[in-house]
Amino acid sequence: MNNKTPLPEAFLARIRKTFPLPEQEQLVQSLELPPISSVRINPRKTNINFPASQPVPWCKHGFYLKERPLYTINPLFHAGAFYPQEASSMFLWHILEQLLPKADREDIKILDLCGAPGGKASLIASLLDGQGLLVANEVIRSRAEILKENMLKWGAPNVVVTRSDPAKFTELSGLFDIMVVDAPCSGEGMFRKGDWARSQWSQDNTALCAVRQRRILQDAWPALKENGLLIYSTCTFNPEENEENLKWLVKKQMAEVLTLTTPSEWNITEIPVETGNGLAFYPHKVKGEGFFIAVVRKNEFQKPLSVRKPKKKSVITPTSDVAALLKYPQQFSFFENLNQWSAFPQKYESLLFLLQKQLDIINFGIVLGNQQRKKFTPALTLPFSWEFNNRFPTIDLDKEEALHYLKGETLLPKQGLPNGVVLLTYQNIPIGFVKNVGTRCNNLFPKNWRIRMEIDFS
């Protein structure tokens, strides 16, 4: 039985006006079908194949699942070994692969402006594979925390997570080579994912979304360098929020919409926009949810920021024990703030200072741990970094043990386990630390990441 909120009348009227018969019916019918589940694996952590999964054609790490599993009870989800991501959104992988040859990724700076919960940001991090720099931003406080959690779990060392309004980026003149604006939108492409998008939708709201998207684009535009690329996407079908916004942008700025081509068997629809196109993903044609994506090149001069070495050096030299927590410590600069030590790719050390002046940074690079009175305590999130060089005693847990741990329970030490910090893994992928105090192992899985749901272990 379908007990979803009915599709809004004004939305249906627009679809009838835009699409010929029988396509309008096919599109509307497809919105009543269950959504398609898919995941993208973290190639730095695993090469797991999901049972009975099929590859997503445009993203080599993406897989369609037969049915939606309960991700919460899969320890690999908590380990950052995969990310549940809607398949159409993974098209960003294909675009970046086309636009950014491997050789050009070494010093590329990418901004993901509307980043939470982190689907696109973790995809970009995988594509960069530790090269270049990613600034993943989210303006809404609670959502920024989720972005931070997901990026920490994903484990890339070259990411700065920020919580700033797009207007804060205006000052970062010409800093980014690529800017991804996955804009907040009216969410029509999510209509089959549940009632929320349907009940929020109104014609007034779609108009408000379009205005907000223009403001975001306008604010962030100066931060894109000359010849830089803006990748604009939404999960809506509404032309006002998609092609109309792009037309507005190229009229206002010296910019050019690029032409994207895709194999015909992918069934992606090309929508002409000025001299180029945008790509629309319609759920009656594509195995994925509704999505729109386009690329715009900036053709105007943008004075680049000069990134100078700061006068006051707050970079520290770590002890050899601390440096040894990383696989390649020589590639990193080390920082101290309120006894917390962090590592960040050395070549972006000066840039980090500059970002700190302008943006609200909530995490950067790898948090290593706390140094107090000559005693170093590793950070609870360190095991999730793919640069982590494990030198702790390690225990691989079975699924049930791992879930008890992820719920925050105290574990009993196995015989022969030395006292002190112990790394726990599941399928040999780190899931966190415990501290063995002899009679018990204190749980060091970050409190706000713990599973709160009841799990039936019987």
Q: Decide if residue 289 touches ligand SAM (CB under 6 A).
A: no
Establish how many alpha carbons lie within 13 A of residue 191's alpha carbon, considering only the half-sphere containing its beta carbon: 27
Annotated catalytic, 235? yes
In the complex with ligand SAM, the residue whose CB is nearer, 124 or 368, is 124
- Using an 8 Å Cβ cutoff, are 314 and 340 in contact? no
Site for ligand SAM, residues 203 to 232, rule: CB under 6 A: 212, 216
DSSP 62: E
Determine which residue in the list 118, 132, 276, 365 makes contact with ligand SAM, applying CB under 6 A. 118
Q: Which is nearer to ligand SAM, 150 or 443 (CB)?
A: 150
Does position 179 bind ligand SAM by CB under 6 A?
A: no
Binding segment toward ligand SAM, per CB under 6 A, in 112-120, 284-292, 353-361, 409-417: 112-120
Q: Does 138 bind ligand SAM (CB under 6 A)?
A: yes
305-313 long-range Cβ contacts below 8 angstroms, 24+ apart: 305/172, 305/173, 305/174, 305/175, 305/354, 307/350, 307/351, 307/354, 308/350, 309/350, 310/350, 310/353
Q: Which residue has the tokens 């797991």?
A: 48
Was 165 annotated as part of a binding site?
yes
Instruction: Judge whether 370 and 339 are in contact, CB under 8 Å.
Output: yes
Instruction: Give strand pairing partners of 423.
Output: 394, 433
Choosing from 184, 310, 329, 393, the residue that interacts with ligand SAM (CB under 6 A) is 184
User: Mask 383-412, x = binds ligand SAM (CB under 6 A)?
Assistant: ------------------------------
Task: Give the 3-state secondary structure of residue 179.
Answer: strand
One residue of 15, 76, 96, 116 binding ligand SAM per CB under 6 A:
116
Q: Which of 8, 57, 115, 378 binds ligand SAM (CB under 6 A)?
A: 115
3-state helix, strand, coil in the chain (%, to 5): 30, 25, 40
Q: Is 188 an interacting residue with respect to ligand SAM (CB under 6 A)? A: no
Nearest approach in angstroms of CB 261 to ligand SAM is 24
DSSP output for 131-159 = SSEEEEE--SHHHHHHHHHHHHHHT-SSE
Q: How far is the CB of 89 from ligand SAM (least distance, A)?
A: 6
Alpha carbon distance 305, 223 (integer Å): 9
Helices 243-252 & 203-220 angle (0-180, nearest 10): 40
Please tell me whether residue 143 binds ligand SAM under the rule CB under 6 A: yes
Nearer to ligand SAM, 115 or 276 (CB): 115
Residue 114 binds ligand SAM, judged by CB under 6 A:
yes
Interface residue with ligand SAM among 75, 119, 278, 369 (CB under 6 A) is 119
Query: Min. distance of Cβ 136 from ligand SAM in angstroms?
Result: 9
| Closest CB 233 distance from ligand SAM, rounded Å | 8
Catalytic residue among 59, 114, 209, 235: 235
- Consult the annotation and say whether 138 binds a ligand: yes
CA dihedral for 134, 63, 279, 188, sign (positive or negative): negative
Distance of CA 65 to the CA centre of its chain: 20
Judged by beta carbon, residue 146 or residue 316, the one nearer ligand SAM is: 146
Q: Does 117 bind ligand SAM (CB under 6 A)?
A: yes
Amino acid identity for residue 197 in this structure: A
Question: Is 178 near ligand SAM (CB under 6 A)?
Answer: no
Please check whether residue 87 is in contact with residue 81, taking contact to mean a CB–CB distance below 8 angstroms. no
Query: In the block, which residue shows the tokens 């702790």?
Result: 392
Q: Is 166 in the site for ligand SAM (CB under 6 A)?
A: yes
| Binding footprint of ligand SAM on the chain (CB under 6 A) | 89, 114-120, 138-140, 143, 166, 182, 184, 212, 216
